[in-house]
Amino acid sequence: MIKREPSKLEMQVLSVLWQCGPSTVRDVLDAMSDGKTRAYTTILTVMQVMEKKGLVSHTAQGNTHIYAAAISREQVAGPLLKELVRHLFGGSRVSALQHLLQENEVSPGEMDEIKQLIATHEKEQSSNQPKRKKRS
């Protein structure tokens, strides 16, 4: 579990590392998705702070540092999503999902993926429930 919630910029860096794998600071800077112009030193400093927090680690290849995420997307997303659903939707996962479906265009392929995830989850839930004894 993460000790402190990553900042928005740290989340963007983590997202790049999860998507692209181990990367240099330059690679991360070039892959940032928000379109903002940032200095190399800004991203370097953020990644150094993230390393102190335990969010990333690095290996040296000559003079170049290759950074990798030290935590998984699930370790970050789980607590953040739970808190968001609790505070914004009163704990209702149904309301949160309904909002996502209504506010964003969902492609037929994405809808099929969602249905498959639900079906898989239902199967897992039913196989994990203890069998009830029949009453005579």
pLDDT in tens, 11-53: 999 999 999 999 999 999 999 988 889 999 999 999 999 999 9
In a domain, 16, yes or no: yes
**16 near 28, Cβ under 8 Å?**
yes
Is residue 17 domain-shared with residue 63, that is, in the same domain?
A: yes
Whether 19 and 65 share a structural domain: yes
DSSP 8-state class, residue 86: H
Kindly state whether residue 117 falls inside one of the protein's structural domains. Answer: yes
pTM, two decimals, is 0.75
User: Given phi > 0 = left and psi -120 to 50 = alpha, else beta, which region is 121?
Assistant: alpha
Q: Is the pLDDT confidence value at 135 over 60?
A: no
pLDDT at 88: 94
Q: Classify 64 as helix, strand or coil.
A: strand
Are 16 and 65 in a shared domain? yes
- Neighbouring CB atoms inside 10 A of 21's CB total 11
State how many domains the chain has. Answer: 2
In this structure, are residues 20 and 67 in contact, taking their beta carbons and an 8 Å threshold? no
Domain limits for position 121 = 90-128
pLDDT tens-digit series, residues 77-93: 998 899 999 999 999 99
Residue 57 lies in a domain: yes
